[in-house]
């Protein structure tokens, strides 16, 4: 009986020791372990969107837009050209007889005539001032007169002009509206000296115009309609480098500002490059409406953009502006409102496009974590909430380096992102997403973690497309991740108690 009891006790002890053996087969207690070493925290700054690739002003319907001109320099000042009309009234003075009552249009001998040298169907005057003088002064027995305007036979409401002790008054002509060149004027006052008093109205030689409705082509017949302006091509070296990596098909686009009833065309549009070797480039203009496309004759627009020797362009053109019943305001400007380079959002990648995340400090691992790394646990690089919504695959390179002191961002970037510091490279297919994306690490790939003062970084690469396939974007396209860390899992042996 005693032997049987000893045998049972031996079997129980053997089972207990077997249950506590470590993964290497030794004796002693073992535990399941899971550890995490954070490397890179995702953020808005680390997210890549379609706007990072194509620019903030991208319109996915039309493409990338680079503004070359958008303002006053390229427009033709049509309102300025038609901002005045000249008078032909013999020295700029109207001589009128004073009338006792508002006259009838048939009393032509007592009416003065205003002659304007421009044809129009409607004219609104701007800020104009005329001086009214009553003579002789000793016959002035009234304090104001009324001026009546007859426009194409229709009498307008009178303008009351106060007359001072010096026999003079001021006529503010602002807002006066004419609908024809048949303009007559009469002066009326309540006076006992009718027939003995004369009224002189001194008008400016040119009247300022607030707006005019006319045949614009006829009004501009003797006007200079040429324009000259400069365009700066201010592309820094980094942008030019990116242009070398991407094959796309840019267009030079003009947007025209016009008025209702106005037809405007551009003739003889010439670009002269600015730089070491100026070159004259003639053009052809295509398109209807307010949007025109410019074709450079004998030149590639993409080659001009890539040429670091070209700093801009001198541009000259001539406008053809017509329209029979066009209303032009004093501030009206027409013609080239904007010049931009438009790049369709469909393109192919000729060379790798690289984005680097600012290096983040990991620090030095504590002793417990170092010991875990030496226990041959299963290690993985894990990326949480990884989403590549782009229409192309993306390569991720994870880097780890020892950088001591108080390094600047530039120093970290220079010393972190080297091939020797890359611990893993991962390819993520297009239009894919993962809540958790683990990649196994070999023991050798964990060796850099034994160093002090660690910094981690991520390089995101859009690889070149050797097949020439073109890509199209959606507005929500982006590449994001939440966290990159090292995961350690497995069993460790507790060893003997001391």
Residue 18's pLDDT band, with cuts at 50, 70 and 90, is: very low
Same fold, 22-53+350-490 and 83-215: yes
Provide mean pLDDT across the span 211-226: 90
Least confident of 62-71, 247-256, 330-339: 62-71
Task: Answer for the pair 350, 247: CB distance below 8 angstroms, yes or no.
Answer: yes
Tell me the C-alpha distance between 317 and 331, whole Å.
21
User: Residue 335: in which H helix or E strand, if any?
Assistant: strand 334-343
DSSP per position, 299-311: --HHHHHH-TTEE
DSSP per position, 363-417: E---HHHHHHHTTT-EEEEEEEEEEE-SSS-EEEEEEEEE--SS--HHHHHHHHS
Tell me the C-alpha distance between 15 and 372, whole Å.
27
Q: Is the pLDDT of residue 224 over 60?
A: yes
Q: Which residue has the higher pLDDT, 134 or 241?
A: 134
Least confident of 18-27, 47-56, 315-324, 359-368: 18-27
Q: What is the pLDDT of residues 425-465, one digit of tens each?
A: 999 998 899 999 999 998 889 889 989 999 999 999 988 87
Tell me the C-alpha distance between 50 and 474, whole Å.
8
C-alpha distances out from residue 68 to 41, 312, 313, 316, 387, Å? 39, 9, 10, 15, 36
Least confident of 55-64, 213-222, 251-260, 350-359: 55-64
| 3-state secondary structure at position 123 | strand
CATH class of 83-215: mainly beta
In sequence order, the 6+-apart residues with CB closer than 8 A to the CB of 18 are: none
In sequence order, the 6+-apart residues with CB closer than 8 A to the CB of 273 are: 279, 281, 304, 310, 312, 313
Task: Answer for the pair 364, 454: CB distance below 8 angstroms, yes or no.
Answer: yes
User: Residue 208: in which H helix or E strand, if any?
Assistant: strand 206-214
Provide mean pLDDT across the span 93-121: 81
| Sequence-ordered strand ranges (E) for 78-128 | 84-86, 93-99, 112-114, 122-125
Provide mean pLDDT across the span 296-307: 85
| 3-state secondary structure at position 52 | helix
Q: What's the pLDDT at 97?
A: 86
> What Rg, from alpha-carbon coordinates, does the chain have?
43
Task: Answer for the pair 115, 245: CB distance below 8 angstroms, yes or no.
Answer: no
Domain edges within the chain? 22-53+350-490, 64-78+220-343, 83-215
Q: What's the pLDDT at 250?
A: 82
Tell me the C-alpha distance between 380 and 442, whole Å.
8
The phi and psi torsions of 305 (rounded to 5 degrees) equal -65, -35
Closest alpha carbon to 491 in 85, 28, 50? 28
Task: Answer for the pair 495, 416: CB distance below 8 angstroms, yes or no.
Answer: no
Does domain 22-53+350-490 fall under CATH 2.60.120? My reply is yes
Task: Answer for the pair 286, 293: CB distance below 8 angstroms, yes or no.
Answer: yes
3-state secondary structure 166-189: CCEEEEECCCCEECCCCEEEEEEC
Q: What's the pLDDT at 129?
A: 94
User: Residue 11: in which H helix or E strand, if any?
Assistant: helix 2-19
Please give the DSSP secondary-structure letter assigned to residue 87: B
Q: Is the pLDDT of residue 480 over 50?
A: yes
Provide mean pLDDT across the span 209-214: 96
| 3-state secondary structure at position 478 | strand
Tell me the C-alpha distance between 76 and 335, whole Å.
6
Q: b/e for 422-436, b at 16 or more Cβ within 10 A? A: bbbeeebeeeeeeee
Q: What is the pLDDT of residues 312-344, one digit of tens each?
A: 899 999 988 999 999 999 999 999 998 888 877
Q: Is the pLDDT of residue 15 over 50?
A: no
C-alpha distances out from residue 12 to 15, 23, 26, 27, Å? 5, 21, 18, 15
Residue 385's pLDDT band, with cuts at 50, 70 and 90, is: very high
Tell me the C-alpha distance between 276 and 431, whole Å.
46
* Mean pLDDT for the chain overall: 83
Q: Which residue has the higher pLDDT, 121 or 305?
A: 121
| Sequence-ordered strand ranges (E) for 403-481 | 422-428, 432-441, 454-462, 478-480
Write out the two tokens for 233: 């091509």
DSSP per position, 282-296: EEEEE-STTEEEEEE
Q: Is the pLDDT of residue 5 over 60?
A: no
pTM (whole model) above 0.75: no
Tell me the C-alpha distance between 82 and 166, whole Å.
36
Tell me the C-alpha distance between 122 and 281, whole Å.
43
Percent of the chain with pLDDT over 90: 39
Helices (H) and strands (E) in the chain, counts: 8, 36
């Amino acid at each position: 009986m005693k032997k049987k009891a000893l045998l049972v006790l031996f079997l129980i002890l053997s089972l207990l020791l077997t249950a506590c053996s470590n993964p290497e087969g030794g004796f002693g207690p073992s535990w399941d372990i899971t550890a995490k070493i954070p490397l890179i925290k995702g953020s808005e700054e680390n997210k890549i969107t379609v706007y990072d690739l194509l620019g903030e002003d991208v319109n996915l319907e039309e493409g990338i837009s680079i503004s070359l001109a958008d303002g006053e320099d390229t427009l033709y000042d049509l309102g300025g050209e038609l901002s005045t009309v000249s008078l032909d009234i013999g020295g700029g003075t109207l001589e009128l007889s004073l009338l006792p009552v508002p006259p009838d249009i048939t009393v032509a001998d007592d009416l003065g005539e205003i002659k304007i040298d421009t044809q129009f169907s409607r004219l609104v005057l701007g800020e104009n001032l005329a001086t009214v003088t009553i003579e002789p002064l000793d016959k002035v027995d009234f304090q104001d007169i009324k001026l009546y305007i007859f426009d194409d036979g229709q009498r307008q409401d009178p303008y009351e002009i106060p007359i001072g002790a010096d026999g003079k008054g001021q006529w503010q002509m602002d807002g006066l509206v004419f609908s024809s060149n048949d303009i007559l004027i009469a002066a009326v006052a309540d006076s006992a000296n009718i027939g003995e008093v004369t009224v002189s109205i001194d008008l400016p030689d040119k009247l300022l115009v607030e707006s005019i409705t006319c045949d614009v082509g006829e009004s501009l017949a003797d006007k200079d309609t040429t324009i000259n302006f400069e365009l700066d091509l201010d592309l820094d070296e980094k942008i030019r480098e990116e242009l070398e990596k991407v094959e796309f098909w840019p267009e030079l686009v003009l947007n025209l500002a016009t008025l209702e009833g106005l037809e405007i065309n551009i003739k003889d549009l010439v670009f002269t490059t600015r730089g070491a070797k100026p070159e004259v480039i003639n053009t052809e203009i295509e398109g209807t409406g307010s949007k025109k496309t410019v074709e450079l004759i004998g030149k590639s627009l993409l080659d001009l953009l890539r040429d670091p020797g070209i700093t801009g362009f001198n541009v000259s053109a001539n406008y053809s502006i017509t329209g029979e019943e066009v209303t032009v305001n004093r501030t009206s400007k027409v013609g080239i409102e904007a010049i931009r380079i438009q790049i369709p959002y469909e393109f192919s990648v000729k060379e790798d496009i690289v984005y680097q995340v600012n290096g983040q400090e990991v620090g030095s691992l504590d002793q417990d974590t170092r010991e875990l790394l030496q226990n041959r646990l299963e290690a993985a690089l894990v990326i949480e909430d990884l989403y590549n919504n782009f229409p192309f695959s993306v390569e991720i390179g994870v880097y780890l380096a020892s950088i001591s002191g108080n390094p600047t961002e530039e120093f970290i970037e220079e010393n972190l992102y080297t091939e020797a510091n890359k611990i893993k490279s991962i390819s993520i297919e297009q239009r894919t997403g993962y809540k958790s994306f683990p990649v196994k690490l070999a023991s050798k790939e964990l060796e850099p973690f034994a160093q002090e003062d660690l910094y981690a970084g991520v390089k995101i690469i859009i690889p070149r497309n050797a097949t020439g396939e073109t890509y199209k974007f959606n507005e929500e396209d982006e590449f994001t991740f939440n966290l990159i860390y090292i995961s350690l899992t497995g069993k460790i042996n507790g060893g003997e108690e001391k």
